[in-house]
Structure 1
Amino acid sequence: MKNVFTTIALLFLTVTGYAQQTDVTPVQPLKLHHAEPLYVDLIRDLGARKGERELNVGFGVNDEKDYTSYSGFAEYEFAVADRLGLEIEVPFEMYAHNPNKQDYALPGNRIEGIKLATQYTFLVSAKYQTSMAVGYIQEMEFSTLSDIDHNAPLFEGTKYNPIFVAATRLTPHIHTLLYTGPAIEQSFKDNSWDTTMEVNANLHYVFTNGNFVGLETNMVFSNGKPSFVLRPQFKVAFSKDVSVGVLAGIPASGDSHGISAMTRMIWVP
């Protein structure tokens, strides 16, 4: 009988010990929260964890002085592994005459293309409150809808865009982020190439509840002629899963573009 009680006790200790081990939550990799700009957003959160997902839908209005353009997009991003994110985006653009420019020849309405992107966060430093990542965006550019109706090729070109991202939290509330890289565009019609350099610098104040206000600066350098757009913005969370961002675009380089505005809805399933 004593041996029976001893055996039962050993079995009980073994089973409870195994249960305690299986109940232990796996240690997740370090992830720092960084404010993400609303216009040129990231492919996935810096330091993203496997299984994270996000759906974004946006709409914008742009004053091009000679006409008005209406743009929009839908994008889905997800982390296939810790710190490795993927994204697919479909942007579109439509055009309308300004009241005093009715005879102006409008560009063709178009689904701009399909963007496929990946991003890997290679550094997350708690000591320096800094995250860094590299990524790549491949965009296949559609011909305009009217050209496709006239038997033009479906794709008129492609764009190659490697990127580098570095973000630092100067304080728990003040966040900075740099997003930069060359954009190399190839036209299939005449096999011409065009290269620009994009530099996007961001500064945000993040409130305790995660809402933020900030300034995004988009700079494009092409053929020695820089273009600068300032984009003041804010983001408000309406629930745990849904946030809305609103921003304006203010050109600061005297080019042909006017004021613009955009809103972005962010849903985390």
Structure 2
Amino acid sequence: MISKLYGAVLLALITPCVIVAQTDDKIIRDSLFVYEVQETVEPDKVLHAEPLYIDLIRDLGARKGEREWNVGFGLTDKNKYDEYTALVEYEWAPINRLGLEVELPFSMYYSNSDAKAPASALNSLKMAAQYSFFVSQKYKTSMAIGYIHEFELPTFRDYGPSKLVTGNVYNPFFVAAKRWGNNFHTLLYTGPQFAHHFDNGHVETTWQINSNFHYMIPGTRNFIGVEFNKELYDGDFDMTIRPQMRVGVTEQLLVGIVTGIPISRENERFSSFLRLIYEPKH
């Protein structure tokens, strides 16, 4: 009886110590990871979780020499046809806080009804720049402005008789991000998009408001989170909720998985997206 009582008391005394030790270890590992990203290299930089669907041109507070390759694949159910998307992009930082990007986005379509599907295409040549004008480790906050320019290209079947460039898309944007503690991240990405189509001369204006919330697993670059991709066009409001997760496969290779859930199914139903991220050492 005494031995059992002694064992119970010992277990009660040890258990809180084990929990505290595990908690302390998690805090230490997480603090070391944040320190590695922020403190070991100049200039200042704040660790932020980057959304996977509407991604940034480069990390906020980018440091000279950083670079990254992205390959993405997506599938969207567009009610009367399926849209398969793919992209290849390269982003780099030629100087501190400035990120540049070149992207090639493809779209391919397959009809699942009697309706005619759009023609497949290399949609555009996309070029972009982003400058982080505010980086504060004290407030764990970063802000940036940027610009994306797209040269719209003809569909594959129109190559030859069609013009080489069929339009331009102008997209200035603003980004603000804050980390709460070491693990919770919020980010706002917003700006107008002006699409100028040469065939009719019209300019279509769409406002994008993308808000994001992520939780980064302590001591890693892995996270779970959600994007709220919102658009305002000609008085119509659309929003797609995109739960997502990012997992590190190796030190340089990350995999991002995204699911799209539209709040209205007038244009599309569910979608999925996979992003492969490769960051060479620098």
d(CA) in 2 for partners of 1:97 and 1:253?
Answer: 21
- CA shift, 1:254, in A, is 3.6
Of the candidates 109, 124, 146, which is equivalent to residue 157 of structure 2?
A: 146
Equivalent-residue separation in structure 2 for 1:53 and 1:41 (angstroms): 14
- Any residues of structure 2 matched to 1:80-99 within 5 Å, and which? 80-98=94-112
Out of 158, 165, 175, the position equivalent to 2:185 is 175
Q: What is the 5 A alignment of 1:89-238? A: 89-98=103-112, 101=113, 103-149=114-160, 151-208=161-218, 209-238=220-249
Q: 1:51 aligns with which of 65, 70, 84?
A: 65
Paired residue secondary structure (2:221): coil
The two structures, once aligned, show a CA RMSD in angstroms of 1.1
Shift of 1:154: 1.9
Deviations 1:181-202 (A, max 9, x none): 0000001112111101000000
Taking the aligned partners of 1:232 and 1:215, their CA distance within structure 2 comes to 4
Is the counterpart of residue 73 in structure 1 residue 87 in structure 2?
Answer: yes
Shift of 1:27: 6.1
Separation (CA, whole Å) in 2 of partners of 1:139 and 1:186: 10
Runs of 4+ in 1 over 6 A off after TM superposition: none
CA distance in 2, matches of 1:253, 1:225: 11
| Preserved CA contact (<8 Å) 1:38 1:247 | yes
Helix, strand or coil for the counterpart of 1:155?
coil
How many residue pairs get matched? 240
SS of 2:159's equivalent in the other structure is helix
1:155-187: CA deviations, max 9, x gaps? Answer: 211100001000000121100000000000001
Map of 1:3 onto structure 2: none
Q: How much does 1:255 deviate?
A: 2.5
Q: Which amino acid aligns with 1:30?
A: D
Structure 1 residues without counterparts, runs of 5 or longer: 1-25
State the Cα distance separating 1:253 from its structure 2 match: 2.9
How far the C-alpha of 1:128 sits from its partner, in A, is: 1.2
2:33 aligned partner: none
* Equivalent-residue separation in structure 1 for 2:41 and 2:216 (angstroms): 27
Aligned match of 2:19 = none
- Paired residue for 2:50? 36
In the alignment, the residues of structure 2 paired with residue 123 and residue 254 of structure 1 have an alpha-carbon distance, to the nearest angstrom, of 39
Structure (1 or 2) with the larger CA radius of gyration: 1
| Structure 1 counterpart of 2:194, one-letter code | I
Which has the larger share of helix? 2
Alpha carbons 1:227, 1:255 under 8 Å: kept: no
- Give yes or no for contact 1:77–1:88 (8 Å, CA) kept in 2: yes
State the 1:59 CA deviation.
Answer: 0.2
The reply to whether residue 63 of structure 1 matches residue 77 of structure 2 is: yes
Distance 1:253 1:69 in 2: 18
Percent identity of paired positions between Structure 1 and Structure 2: 47
